[in-house]
């Protein structure tokens, strides 16, 4: 049986601002502080007032007028993230970053008790950065992530095989990795809200409504998740997004922004010695609904013109029913370009 740890820094951006500015214990909200910005992260003190990520800042101000609002200082967060990941890498090389402040570690080969490993990580991270994290320990990725979410902040939770399925039953189906927002809405319409409800559905039925993927979901909620921890991961992505000065459906404006972003993503990929297979356009309409449209290529991309061209194809195929307030470009399915070298040129030569 594997030993997987999922670590997740607590309210990362907000915790850094609290730490750097001597604001511990205060409601701190990090995000776009101008008129149309949204909350990026907020401290636990602000969450008590109902503030959460992605909430428009003007609403957050109404909910928690005494909060301290701070702009995003990405370069600082990256600096702290590097320190955290250096500590994680000293524990094991089998590590999969999920974002700037989250990772899976596979410690199956370690003699050490995973609890002791987690305690070491927590102690080192606190010492080096002054910040806390929450960790989940289990025998697969899905359950380790459920566990780290269990008693945030500063929590540790173990999910053992014998805890299953009781521990999952009361949870919302939103917690099931791989079930998108649309699937969750569909199930809710059928009266399926908790994982226990989902348990009542047969494997055949899940395959019928979710496609091939239904079998993964069926297994996952039964504690079976065979995904391995790896540096190259489809969940890794890099992206840029911006809130427009004015809502619009003008595709030329979107393309102009996307062109800049294509260049920035090319630079990031080159710097990271990596390349990507999937291009995603994200947009938020004036009613605050988020949408994404992706295209996955059979080869790897790094070049800005290629990324831009694919992004434009996606935009051309979207019918924007409502004006758009935010537009973004992301590339994912990222791999180390020193490992895999298959590009469009290889394909053309074959």
Q: Which residues are catalytic?
A: 102
Kindly report the backbone phi and psi dihedral angles of residue 233, in degrees, each rounded to the nearest multiple of 5, phi listed first: -145, 145
Q: What is the size of the binding site for Mg ion (CB under 5 A)?
A: 4
Is residue 148 a contact point for Mg ion (CB under 5 A)?
Answer: no
* 217 touches 179 (CB < 8 A): yes
- The enclosing H or E element of 183 equals helix 181-189
Residue 52 CB, shortest distance to Mg ion, in Å, is: 13
Which are the contacts of 285, defined by CB distance < 8 A and separation ≥ 6? 291, 320, 321, 322, 323, 324, 325
Whole-angstrom distance, CA of residue 108 vs CA of residue 2: 5
Strands (E) in 251-342, as ranges, are: 274-285, 290-301, 324-336
Residue 13 CB, shortest distance to Mg ion, in Å, is: 9
The torsion defined by the Cα of 139, 145, 149 and 152, in degrees rounded to 10, comes to 80
Residue 304 CB, shortest distance to Mg ion, in Å, is: 31
CA torsion through residues 213, 330, 312, 345, sign: negative
Given the complex with Mg ion, which of 9 and 60 has the nearer CB atom?
A: 9
Q: Which stretch binds Mg ion (CB under 5 A): 4-12, 305-313, 315-323, 325-333?
A: 4-12
Given the complex with Mg ion, which of 96 and 101 has the nearer CB atom?
A: 101
Residue 187 CB, shortest distance to Mg ion, in Å, is: 26
Q: Which stretch binds Mg ion (CB under 5 A): 87-95, 101-109, 251-259, 273-281?
A: 101-109
Residue 240 CB, shortest distance to Mg ion, in Å, is: 20
Given the complex with Mg ion, which of 81 and 94 has the nearer CB atom?
A: 81
Is residue 101 a contact point for Mg ion (CB under 5 A)?
Answer: yes
Is residue 42 a contact point for Mg ion (CB under 5 A)?
Answer: no
Concatenate the DSSP letters of all residues of 98-159 into one string. EETTEEEEE-TT-SS-HHHHHHHHHHHHHHHHS--EEEEEESSHHHHHHHHTTT-SS-EEE-
* 307 touches 265 (CB < 8 A): yes
Given the complex with Mg ion, which of 12 and 308 has the nearer CB atom?
A: 12
Q: Which stretch binds Mg ion (CB under 5 A): 100-108, 228-236, 291-299, 336-344?
A: 100-108
Kindly report the backbone phi and psi dihedral angles of residue 176, in degrees, each rounded to the nearest multiple of 5, phi listed first: -80, 115
Please identify which residue in 8, 45, 96, 335 interacts with Mg ion, judged by CB under 5 A. Answer: 8
Given the complex with Mg ion, which of 8 and 96 has the nearer CB atom?
A: 8
User: Could you tell me the two tokens for 199?
Assistant: 């348990």
Given the complex with Mg ion, which of 9 and 176 has the nearer CB atom?
A: 9
Given the complex with Mg ion, which of 8 and 225 has the nearer CB atom?
A: 8
Residue 245 CB, shortest distance to Mg ion, in Å, is: 30
Residue 255 CB, shortest distance to Mg ion, in Å, is: 33
Q: Which stretch binds Mg ion (CB under 5 A): 8-16, 155-163, 302-310, 329-337?
A: 8-16
Neighbours of 289 (CB within 10 A): 10
- Specify the residue for token string 């019928």: 208
Please identify which residue in 5, 9, 179, 327 interacts with Mg ion, judged by CB under 5 A. Answer: 9
Neighbours of 91 (CB within 10 A): 19
Q: Which stretch binds Mg ion (CB under 5 A): 42-50, 60-68, 94-102, 175-183?
A: 94-102
- Catalog residues that contact Mg ion under the rule CB under 5 A: 8-9, 12, 101
């Amino acid at each position: 049986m594997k030993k997987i740890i999922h670590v997740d820094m607590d309210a990362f951006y907000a915790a850094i601002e609290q730490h750097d500015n001597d604001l511990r214990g205060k409601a701190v909200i990090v995000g776009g502080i101008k008129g149309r910005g949204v909350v990026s992260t907020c401290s636990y003190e602000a969450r008590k007032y109902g503030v959460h990520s992605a909430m428009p800042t003007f609403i957050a101000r109404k909910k928690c007028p005494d909060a301290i609002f701070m702009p995003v200082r990405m370069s600082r967060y990256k600096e702290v993230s590097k320190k955290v990941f250096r500590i994680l890498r000293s524990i094991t090389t089998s590590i999969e970053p999920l974002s700037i402040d989250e990772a899976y570690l596979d410690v199956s080969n370690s003699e050490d008790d995973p609890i002791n490993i987690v305690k070491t990580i927590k102690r080192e991270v606190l010492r080096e950065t002054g910040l806390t994290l929450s960790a989940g320990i289990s025998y697969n990725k899905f359950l380790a992530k459920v566990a780290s979410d269990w008693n945030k902040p500063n929590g540790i939770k173990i999910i053992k095989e014998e805890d299953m399925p009781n521990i999952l039953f009361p949870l919302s189906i939103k917690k099931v990795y791989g079930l998108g927002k649309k699937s969750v809405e569909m199930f809710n319409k059928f009266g399926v809200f908790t994982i226990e409800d989902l348990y009542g559905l047969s494997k055949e039925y899940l395959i019928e409504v979710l496609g091939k993927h239904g079998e993964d979901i069926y297994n996952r909620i039964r504690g079976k998740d065979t995904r391995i921890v790896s540096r190259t991961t489809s969940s890794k992505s890099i992206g840029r997004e911006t809130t427009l000065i004015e809502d619009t459906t003008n595709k030329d404006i979107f393309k102009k922004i996307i062109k800049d972003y294509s260049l920035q993503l090319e630079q990031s990929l080159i710097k990271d010695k990596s390349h990507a297979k999937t291009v995603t356009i994200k947009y938020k309409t004036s009613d605050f609904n988020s949408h994404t449209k992706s295209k996955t290529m059979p080869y790897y991309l790094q070049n800005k013109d290629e990324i831009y061209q694919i992004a434009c194809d996606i935009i051309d195929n979207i019918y924007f029913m409502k004006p758009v307030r935010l537009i973004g470009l992301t590339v994912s399915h990222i791999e180390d370009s020193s490992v895999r070298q298959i590009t469009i040129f290889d394909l053309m030569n074959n």
